[in-house]
Structures are given as structure tokens and as C-alpha cells.
């Protein structure tokens, strides 16, 4: 299972990477949208996890999703939102934007891992 | 004369007939004694010619006669008028004959008979009269020429009694025949006026007179005359009509003719008026006293005063007015118009005139007064300005305010001088006016709001209504334009809108604030929870140490957020509980600098501090300043990966200000985000257009804290080159 994780917060990126790697995932983390776009054009992933707030001056997760979906191989690839935006309405909002699933921070790993298992099958 | 005697053997001298012998050119060769007498003192001479005595008009008759005689015609009889020196026009009936080249003329003076005939002719002509007679024995009717003329029929027709009757109107014929029969039977003469239809189709009125001639007690002959009396008849009919008109008119205006005899105090009224008042018809008059009783008690005194004034004034006319009691007890208003008749010593003896019922007029007047009162009240109290226009746009009425404005601006009183509204209205009002006024003329009510600058320079809003005012037939007679000052209303409306907008803004702010803080808390919390889970399974000490460091960092970030949150929520409180004291800015900045030194050093940044040479003292709250400074320096370190963080304090003593500059060589902030960094919560809106890029809330808190100290914070930034914050603190609040 090859996963691309787009996350600007260094600590979150590192610890999520560790957690997923422990569960037999091959994770590549990138800190911003432009690096993410380079990665997906160079390599293919089974799942993409995208943080929404990617820092000041930076393209946000929603915009990045739009770009991804314009790329042929990513049209139907599972792309999940992993974000600290977790107020009522946020989930519906991001799903409407086109994310296949939504995970609020702190991440519920059991749910994330079971979703990953479903993809693997 | 002897000459002639010889030529004519027998010319009797002793006759009253005139005998003359003429040449064919009219020269007189001989005349007898009778003619000599007729000529009186004129002597016969060589030059004597009959033509000299004939009036010019008749000369051609003689000429014709002579011509005819020359053509061997038999003797000719004509009447010629002769004018001789006795000054009388004589009618002479001549009998001319030609014998042996000479003309013999026998004449008879018929002057007297002719004159009578002429007079009759003229009379007949003047009176349009024709004569007729009826021979009872022969059953024959004879008409004179004039009779035919009157009937406009040809005179050569044989007239019969039947035919004559047919000229009359069909429904009258039997009556007329009856008259004639009665005349024959009862020998009664008759006279009547009837209408006939002439042959030319004209309708005429004729007067017919018939008189029987009786012999042996039997009518043998009827003499008669007819006269055309159409004009006379028409005149009579017109007279009758105008008489009727007068009566109707008098009735129509419910008026009473009166004849007031001042000397005996008796008043005579027309019957219709007496009936109306319920006065007895038996008496020819009413007394002054009994009439005064009928006048309304409220009007009586003034009416009597006016009556006496009328009697005394020089003018012939009489005028008075009062209410009079009718037979049903109702009082009605009357105007009294009359003429005074004076006697030799200039005393009024009679007043003759007319009482005219003006009740309806009075009622209308009262209604109009009332209505105009209402309108005036409406105009003066219901609206700020109100103007009544006629259909041409002329001002009929306007309220006091409007009149004052027009008087002031145009020096015209529109209630006195006829004024078109368009000439005295505000300029910017002219275009909408034309349109709205036309709508009103069509009968539509329209409302419009206009803005204007009032005299005091303030904006003024007016609601203008155009209301057509129609008469009973729904024809627009005038247009009422009212202006209502709705400025207060408008201002209130704006205030409500503004308040609503602010409320919306506040609600957005609240929701953004919550969203930002929630995000800022969940981010480090995610780290903490994940790390905790990893620590449970991590056995390598090296990895554990790393994880613990991460945990520490996440904890710091969480704490910082929570501190900011509490500071943020306490801004209001802080503002009211400031601990103001003289503070050395150099010292405070250096403290902050030192507190964050390890962070800068861990990123291997060049971290520099330049304090002021002086000791800038400002009266501030230390805690507030240091929180703000901490957040800005912390932010600079966070977003700078390499290069320098440079902090500088400058004392602007002249202006009593202290500048604190924080420069970094970090990623910079693009222009569109520069405003946002201080106001992360005031985003366009929560929703689709929202950009999910955080700056945290440290800077916004810093800004608010500096503002609490009455200072300002500004930022300049270039992408990838760095950011420069400048804090300006006043030394005294």
C-alpha cells in the first residue's frame, strides 16, 4: 500500500508516517502542494492523504485536490482529507469538495486503518 | 287750329274727350278745346309734339303704337301718363288710329280711377291681400291674381272651391268647409286664420274673410279676401314661446317676481312664489310686516339695514339677500334684485324685481368652503410640503412652508400671482416631475422618493406623492403633490441595515474565531495523541527521545494557543485593568529577545538586538507589551528557515514615540495576505470561497495588544525575502 501524505506540520508528518509505516504502509510525506504535485506525476500511489491548511501563502488542500483530480490517474484514486478543521459542517463541506473520506485530527487510527484495508482488498 | 278745322270735317268741339291730330313723328297738328283746357296755358306751336308731354317711361309705348299703325294694324288703345305744367300726373287712355298718313287720337282723362286702382294695388301688395268671390248660382270661384300669388300657384289654372280647400291642412279642411256651408245656410260672415301648403311646398298662415250677399233671403254671391299673415303669425308664435320661456325660466330659478309698494307697505308677488311660500292666493298682496316674519330671524336685522341702505343710495338698483321660510317650514337662501322707482321729490315709491333662490349655490359654497378647509388642514398639518396644481400645472394652493420657500427663492407669492409650479421648483426635480404629473393627469397615484440637499447642507429624503383629484365625472381637475420628509426614517433604516451588517460581521467573526482556535488546538493535539500511541510500542531509546521532544514541542504549541485564546477573550478585561507604569522599553525588548533566543539558535539563525542609546521610558502595561512582542518575534523565527532575525529599538524623543522594528529574512507574506495576518478571523465568509491557510492567531493578538497601548503596528513584506514589522508606542497614553 503506497501512500502520499501531504502535511505542512513537521511533527504531524513524522508521527503519522511512523504510525502508518508500522501498519505496513509505504508512506511518502511532503510539506506542500507543489512538491505533492511533483510526487504524483513521478510515482503512483494507492491512497493520498491531504491536510487542508498547508500554511500561509500556500495552496490549500481543497485546491490541491482539484489539481489532483485533473490528472488522469488520480481521477478515481481514493483521496482523504486529514485536517484539524473539525467544526460542525466541515466534514460535509470537504466531502462535497470531492474528498473520498474525511478524518479529523486527532486522527482516529482504527477507522483510518480499516479504510486502508478496504482499499487494499 | 283753323288749319286743322279745314282738314277734319267733323271734330266735335263740345265733348269732354280729347281729340288730337298728329303727324307720324308725334307733332301735334290739331287738338280740340277739351285738350286745350287740359293743357291750360300752353300755346300750340310749330314745335308742339305729343312726346314732350308724355313721361319718359311711357314714350316707348307711343313709339310702339306708331310702329304698329304704320304696319296697318287696327286702332290701338293704350294708357299714357302725361305731365303738364299744372304739376299733376295725368293718366290718359288714348285710342290711336291712322288715316291718310295722319294719326287721330281720342283721349280720356282717367287719372282719378287710375289713382284709386294704383292705391288698391299698392295696398294689396303691402298687405299681401288677394280678393275672391264665389258665384253661388254658377258654383264658380274667382280669384284675383294676388290670390294665386299667395298660394304660389299658376294663375291660368281654373280655380274651384274643391281645389281651394285642398290648400288647407288635411285635418282642418272639414272645419273650413263647415264654415262655408254655414255661411251659405245661415248667411253668417266669417273670418279665420289657417295654415296652407302652397304649391311650392311652403307653409303659410292666411287670414280668410268671407261676406255673403243676400237677395230674397238667399245667399247669391260671396265676397271675400285672403291675406298672407305668415310673418305676423310667426311673430305671435315666437312671442308666445318667449313668454313661455320666461315663465319656465322663472320657474327654473325658483324665483318670484315682486312689486313692493313702499308708500302703502304692500308687496305683490307672483302666484307661483306665493304658492311656494305658502301664502294665501286670495289676497293680491302681503303686508311688509307679514313678509318680515318669513325672513330667517338670524338674517332679519342685517336684511333690514341693507334694505334701508338700498333705499337711500343714488343707484337705481336694489340688492338684498336673506333666508325665507317656505310653506314646509324650511328656510332657503334668496338673492333679491330689483329696480327702484322714484317720485318727483326723489323718494322711492316702488321696488320691482325678482327674488332668486340661491339655496343650492349657498350649499355648494359651504361645501366648497368646508372642503377647502379640510384640504388646507391636510396641507398645513399632514405633510411637510403640499401643493395643489390645476391640470396646466398652475399652483392653486400651497402650504405655508412652500409659500415661504417660493417667496424667498423667487420673490413670488404663488397664491397671489398665477405661477406655474415648474417655474419655481428645485432644478433636479423637473425631470421626474413631468413624468409623474402626466401619470397623475391620467388618474394614477404615484409615489417617488427624492433626495435633496437642505438649506442646512444636510441630506434630505422626501417622499413625493402625486394624487389626482377628480370631479364627479372622474375627470381629473387638479393634482395634489405632497412631500413628506422621510429623512429620519431613512436614517433609521440605514442604521438598522448597518446594525444588521455589524451583527452579521460579528457572527462571522465568532464562527471564524472558533474555527481558527479549534484548528490551532487540534493540530498539536493530533501530534500529542499520535506520539503517545507510538511511545507505547517504541522500545528504541533513541526513537523514544525523539518522540518525547516532539511531544514537548506539540505541548508548547498547544499551550501557546491556549494562552492566546485566554488573552484574546480577555482583551476587553485587560483594557479596563491596565497596569500602567513607566517602563524601560529597552529592558522589555531585551527580555523578550532572551526568552526566544534558544528557538532562534535551534534553527541556526543569526539573532541580533540593537537597543536605543537612550533609555526610552513609556507609560505602558509591561505584560501587554511583552505578550505582543513575544508573538511577533516568535512568528518571525517560525517562518524563517535561514538568515537573520534583527530586533531594534529607536527612541523618537521629539515625537514622544518609541519604535520597535523586527526584521526577518523568512518566507514573507504576499500582498493579499498582509491584511489577513492581523485579522485572521475576518475572512470573506465561511464557506466555499474560504481559503484554508492559517497564520495562527499570534499576530492578530499582538496587534490588538499594541492597540490597547494606543500604539500601531505595520508590516512590509516581500515573498521569499523577508518581513519587516514596525511597532510604534507612544510614551504617554
pLDDT band at B239, cuts 50/70/90? confident
Average of per-residue pLDDT across B121-130: 72
pLDDT above 50 (res B22)? yes
DSSP codes joined into one string, chain A? -EEEEE---HHHHHHHHHHHHHTT-EEEEESSHHHHHHHHHHS--SEEEE-S---TTSPPHHHHHHHHHHSGGGSSS-EEEEES--STTHHHHHHHHT-SEEEESSP-HHHHHHHHHHHH-
Element (H, E) at B475: none
pLDDT band at B409, cuts 50/70/90? confident
Query: Of B168, B200, B235, which one is at a domain's C-terminal end?
Result: B235
pLDDT band at B1, cuts 50/70/90? very low
pLDDT of residue B381: 63
Asked, for residue B246, whether it belongs to a domain, the answer is: no
B367 lies in the same domain as B468: yes
Query: Per this entry, what is the length of chain B?
Result: 733
Q: What is the pLDDT of residues B279-336, one digit of tens each?
A: 777 777 888 888 888 889 998 999 999 988 888 888 888 899 999 888 888 888 888 8
Sign of the CA dihedral with A96 first, then A97, A101, and A104 last: negative
CB pair distance less than 8 Å for A15 and B527: yes
B265 lies in the same domain as B391: no
Find the CATH number of the domain harbouring B139: 3.30.450.20
B221 lies in the same domain as B312: no
* Per-residue pLDDT of chain A in tens (121 residues, 90 and over written 9): 999 999 998 899 999 999 999 998 999 999 999 999 999 988 899 999 999 988 877 889 999 999 999 998 898 899 999 999 988 888 999 999 999 999 999 999 999 999 999 998 8
Asked, for residue B688, whether it belongs to a domain, the answer is: yes
Q: Which of B16, B13, B46, B14 is nearest to B29 (CA)?
A: B46
Distance from CA of A118 to the nearest CA of B (A): 22
B602 lies in the same domain as B720: yes
B46 lies in the same domain as B102: yes
Angle at B274 between CA B272 and CA B277, to 5 degrees: 110
Distance from CA of B654 to the nearest CA of A (A): 38
Euclidean distance between CA atoms B376 and B374, whole angstroms? 5
- Sort out which chain A residues have CB atoms less than 8 A from B670's CB and list them: 57
pLDDT band at B581, cuts 50/70/90? very high
Distance from CA of A48 to the nearest CA of B (A): 18
Q: What is the pLDDT of residues B436-454, one digit of tens each?
A: 898 888 888 888 888 877 7
Asked, for residue B119, whether it belongs to a domain, the answer is: no
B564 lies in the same domain as B609: no
Query: Which residues have C-beta within 8 Å of that of residue B614, sequence separation ≥ 6?
Result: B651, B653
Dihedral, CA of residue B503, residue B506, residue B512 and residue B518, to nearest 10: -110
pLDDT of residue A47: 95
Q: What is the pLDDT of residues B583-616, one digit of tens each?
A: 999 999 999 999 999 989 989 999 999 999 999 9
Asked, for residue B241, whether it belongs to a domain, the answer is: no
CB pair distance less than 8 Å for B519 and A107: no
B536 lies in the same domain as B578: no
pLDDT above 70 (res B672)? yes
Residue B602 and residue B549 in contact, taking contact as beta carbons nearer than 8 Å: no
CB pair distance less than 8 Å for B694 and A22: no
pLDDT of residue B367: 78
pLDDT band at B716, cuts 50/70/90? very high
Grid cell of B581 as nine digits: 507604569
pLDDT above 60 (res B668)? yes
- Using N-to-C axis directions, what is the helix angle for B541-569 and B622-638, rounded to 10°? 140
pLDDT band at B255, cuts 50/70/90? low
Name the class of domain A2-120: alpha beta
Query: Of B520, B537, B569, which one is at a domain's C-terminal end?
Result: B569
Strands B385-390 and B256-261: what pairing? unpaired
B603 lies in the same domain as B703: yes
- Sort out which chain A residues have CB atoms less than 8 A from B515's CB and list them: 85, 87
Between the CA of residue B539 and those of A51, B214, B528, B546, B683, what are the distances in Å? Answer: 29, 180, 18, 12, 46
Find the CATH number of the domain harbouring B629: 3.30.565.10
Nearest to B693 among A11, A22, A56 (CB): A56
Instruction: Count CA atoms closer than 13 A to B285's CA, side-chain side.
Output: 12
SS (H, E, C) B326-356: CCCCCEEEEEEEEEEEECCCCCEEEEEEEEE
- Sort out which chain B residues have CB atoms less than 8 A from A50's CB and list them: none
Q: Which domain holds residue B91?
A: 2-113
CB pair distance less than 8 Å for A55 and B693: yes
pLDDT above 90 (res B425)? no
pLDDT of residue B695: 56
Grid cell of A70 as nine digits: 485533473
Query: Of B485, B507, B525, which one is at a domain's C-terminal end?
Result: B485
B478 lies in the same domain as B494: no
Euclidean distance between CA atoms B564 and B628, whole angstroms? 10
Q: pTM for this one?
A: 0.45
- Sort out which chain A residues have CB atoms less than 8 A from B534's CB and list them: 15, 18-19, 22
Residue B687: DSSP 8-state: S
Q: How many domains does chain B have?
A: 6
pLDDT, chain B, mean: 83
Q: What is the pLDDT of residues B370-389, one digit of tens each?
A: 777 676 666 666 677 888 88
Asked, for residue B462, whether it belongs to a domain, the answer is: yes
Q: What is the ipTM of this complex?
A: 0.92
B62 lies in the same domain as B208: no
Find the CATH number of the domain harbouring B533: 1.10.287.130
CA nearest to A59 within chain B: B693
Grid cell of B488 as nine digits: 429620519
Grid cell of B246 as nine digits: 320666461
Grid cell of B553 as nine digits: 514541542
Locate the domains of chain A by residue range.
Answer: 2-120
Between the CA of residue B341 and those of B255, B311, B314, what are the distances in Å? Answer: 21, 10, 12
B268 lies in the same domain as B343: yes
Neighbours of B277 (CB within 10 A): 18
CB pair distance less than 8 Å for B695 and A85: no
Average of per-residue pLDDT across B80-84: 82
pLDDT band at B648, cuts 50/70/90? very high
Residue B720 and residue B667 in contact, taking contact as beta carbons nearer than 8 Å: yes
B312 lies in the same domain as B456: no
- Sort out which chain B residues have CB atoms less than 8 A from A57's CB and list them: 667-670, 673, 693, 719
Most trustworthy range by pLDDT among B30-34, B248-252, B531-535: B531-535
Nearest to B526 among A18, A56, A106 (CB): A106
Amino acid at each position: 500500500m503506497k501512500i502520499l501524505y501531504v502535511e505542512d506540520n513537521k511533527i504531524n508528518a513524522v508521527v503519522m508516517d511512523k504510525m502508518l509505516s508500522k501498519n505496513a504502509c509505504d508512506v511518502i510525506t511532503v510539506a506542500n502542494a507543489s512538491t505533492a504535485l511533483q510526487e504524483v506525476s513521478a510515482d503512483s500511489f494507492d491512497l493520498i492523504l491531504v491536510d487542508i491548511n498547508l500554511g500561509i501563502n500556500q495552496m490549500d488542500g481543497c485546491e490541491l485536490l482539484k489539481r489532483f483530480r485533473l490528472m488522469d490517474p488520480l481521477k478515481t484514486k481514493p483521496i482523504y482529507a486529514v485536517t484539524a478543521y473539525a467544526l460542525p459542517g466541515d466534514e460535509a463541506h470537504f466531502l462535497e469538495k470531492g474528498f473520498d473520506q474525511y478524518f479529523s485530527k486527532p486522527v482516529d487510527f482504527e477507522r483510518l486503518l480499516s479504510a486502508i484495508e478496504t482499499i487494499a482488498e | 287750329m283753323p288749319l286743322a278745322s279745314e282738314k277734319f270735317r267733323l271734330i266735335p268741339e263740345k265733348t269732354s274727350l280729347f281729340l288730337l291730330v298728329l303727324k307720324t313723328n308725334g307733332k301735334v297738328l290739331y287738338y280740340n278745346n277739351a285738350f286745350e283746357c287740359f293743357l291750360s296755358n300752353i300755346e300750340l306751336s310749330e314745335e308742339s309734339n305729343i312726346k314732350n308731354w308724355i313721361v319718359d317711361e311711357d314714350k316707348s309705348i307711343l313709339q310702339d303704337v306708331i310702329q304698329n299703325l304704320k304696319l296697318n294694324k287696327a286702332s290701338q288703345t293704350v294708357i299714357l301718363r302725361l305731365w303738364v305744367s299744372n304739376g299733376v300726373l295725368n293718366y290718359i287712355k288714348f285710342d290711336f288710329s291712322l288715316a291718310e298718313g295722319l294719326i287721330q287720337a281720342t283721349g280720356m282723362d282717367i287719372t282719378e280711377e287710375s289713382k284709386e286702382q294704383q292705391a288698391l294695388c299698392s295696398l294689396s301688395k303691402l298687405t299681401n291681400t288677394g280678393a275672391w268671390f264665389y258665384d253661388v248660382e254658377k258654383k264658380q270661384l274667382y280669384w284675383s291674381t294676388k290670390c294665386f300669388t299667395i298660394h304660389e300657384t299658376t294663375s291660368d289654372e281654373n280655380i274651384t272651391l274643391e281645389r281651394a280647400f285642398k290648400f288647407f291642412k288635411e285635418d282642418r279642411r272639414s272645419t273650413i268647409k263647415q264654415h262655408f256651408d254655414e255661411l251659405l245656410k245661415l248667411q253668417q260672415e266669417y273670418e279665420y286664420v289657417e295654415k296652407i301648403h302652397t304649391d311650392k311646398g311652403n307653409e303659410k298662415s292666411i287670414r280668410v274673410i268671407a261676406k255673403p250677399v243676400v237677395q230674397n233671403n238667399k245667399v247669391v254671391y260671396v265676397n271675400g279676401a285672403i291675406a298672407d299673415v305668415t310673418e305676423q303669425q310667426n311673430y305671435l308664435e315666437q312671442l308666445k314661446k318667449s313668454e313661455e320661456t320666461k315663465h319656465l325660466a322663472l320657474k327654473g330659478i325658483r324665483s318670484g317676481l315682486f312689486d313692493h309698494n313702499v308708500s302703502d307697505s304692500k308687496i305683490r308677488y307672483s302666484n307661483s312664489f306665493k304658492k311656494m311660500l305658502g301664502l294665501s292666493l286670495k289676497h293680491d298682496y302681503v303686508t311688509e310686516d307679514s313678509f318680515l316674519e318669513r325672513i330667517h330671524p338670524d338674517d332679519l336685522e342685517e336684511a333690514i339695514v341693507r334694505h334701508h341702505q338700498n333705499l337711500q343710495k343714488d343707484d337705481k338698483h336694489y340688492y338684498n339677500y336673506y333666508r325665507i321660510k317656505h310653506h314646509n317650514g324650511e328656510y332657503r337662501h334668496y338673492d333679491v334684485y330689483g329696480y327702484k322707482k322714484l317720485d318727483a321729490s326723489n323718494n322711492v315709491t316702488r321696488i320691482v324685481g325678482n327674488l332668486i333662490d340661491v339655496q343650492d349655490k349657498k350649499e355648494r359654497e359651504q361645501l366648497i368652503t368646508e372642503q377647502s378647509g379640510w384640504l388646507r388642514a391636510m396641507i398645513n398639518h399632514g405633510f411637510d410640503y403640499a401643493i395643489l396644481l390645476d391640470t396646466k400645472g398652475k399652483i392653486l394652493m400651497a402650504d405655508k412652508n412652500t409659500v415661504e420657500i417660493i417667496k424667498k427663492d423667487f420673490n413670488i407669492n404663488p397664491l397671489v400671482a398665477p405661477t406655474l409650479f415648474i417655474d419655481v421648483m428645485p432644478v433636479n426635480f423637473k425631470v421626474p416631475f413631468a413624468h409623474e404629473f402626466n401619470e397623475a393627469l391620467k388618474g394614477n397615484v404615484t409615489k417617488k422618493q427624492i433626495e435633496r440637499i437642505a438649506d442646512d447642507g444636510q441630506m434630505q429624503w422626501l417622499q413625493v406623492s402625486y394624487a389626482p383629484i377628480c370631479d364627479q365625472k372622474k375627470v381629473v381637475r387638479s393634482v395634489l403633490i405632497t412631500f413628506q420628509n422621510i429623512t429620519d426614517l431613512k436614517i433609521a433604516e440605514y442604521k438598522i441595515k448597518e446594525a444588521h451588517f455589524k451583527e452579521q460581521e460579528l457572527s462571522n467573526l465568532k464562527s471564524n474565531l472558533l474555527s481558527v482556535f479549534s484548528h490551532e488546538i487540534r493540530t498539536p493535539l493530533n501530534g500529542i495523541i499520535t506520539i503517545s500511541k507510538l511511545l507505547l510500542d517504541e522500545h528504541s531509546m533513541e526513537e523514544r527521545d525523539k518522540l518525547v521532544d516532539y511531544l514537548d514541542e506539540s505541548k508548547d504549541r498547544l499551550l501557546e494557543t491556549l494562552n492566546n485564546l485566554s488573552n484574546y477573550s480577555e482583551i476587553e478585561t485587560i483594557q479596563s485593568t491596565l497596569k500602567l507604569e513607566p517602563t524601560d522599553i529597552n529592558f522589555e525588548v531585551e527580555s523578550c529577545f532572551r526568552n526566544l533566543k534558544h528557538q532562534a539558535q535551534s534553527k541556526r539563525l543569526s539573532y541580533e538586538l540593537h537597543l536605543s542609546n537612550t533609555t526610552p521610558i513609556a507609560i505602558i502595561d509591561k505584560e501587554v507589551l511583552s505578550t505582543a512582542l513575544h508573538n511577533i518575534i516568535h512568528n518571525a523565527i517560525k517562518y524563517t528557515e535561514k538568515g537573520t532575525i534583527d530586533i531594534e529599538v529607536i527612541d523618537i524623543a521629539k515625537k514622544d514615540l518609541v519604535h520597535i522594528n523586527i526584521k526577518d529574512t523568512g518566507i514573507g507574506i504576499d500582498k493579499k495576505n498582509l491584511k489577513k495576518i492581523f485579522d485572521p478571523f475576518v475572512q470573506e465568509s465561511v464557506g466555499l470561497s474560504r481559503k484554508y491557510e492559517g497564520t495562527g492567531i499570534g499576530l492578530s493578538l499582538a496587534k490588538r495588544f499594541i492597540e490597547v497601548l494606543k500604539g500601531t503596528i505595520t508590516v512590509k513584506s516581500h515573498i521569499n525575502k523577508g518581513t519587516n514589522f514596525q511597532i510604534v508606542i507612544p510614551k504617554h497614553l
